[in-house]
Amino acid sequence: MAEDIKAGFTGSPSDPPEGLRRAAKTATQAVRRETTALATGAAAHPQTATSLLLGIGAIAFTLGFFAGRASARDDYTYWR
């Protein structure tokens, strides 16, 4: 009797993804490949990766600082 029970997936797989599902799958694969390449490069050259990360962080901080200073108001009449 136990031999007659069919458990699990016994059919054929569904059709390959089309349209949005296919684009999402392709994009996911591309992101995975690029992430792996980035991690491999960073592991092979840790000093360069650290320098790039700190350099990009410093540039972003500087841009944010100057953008914040430019948006600040200059009418401090109560200090006079």
Say if residue 14's pLDDT is above 80: no
Average pLDDT over residues 21-37: 93
Higher pLDDT, 47 or 13: 47
With cut-offs at 50, 70 and 90, classify the pLDDT of residue 20.
Answer: confident
- Position 76 pLDDT exceeds 80: no
> Amino acid identity, residue 18?
E
> What single DSSP character describes residue 17?
P
Read off the pTM: 0.54
Domain extent listing, the chain:
18-69
Structure confidence at residue 78 (pLDDT): 64
And the tokens for 51?
């320098």
The average confidence (pLDDT) of the chain is: 84
How many Cα atoms sit within 13 Å of 53 on the Cβ side? 8
CA end-to-end distance (rounded Å), the chain: 96
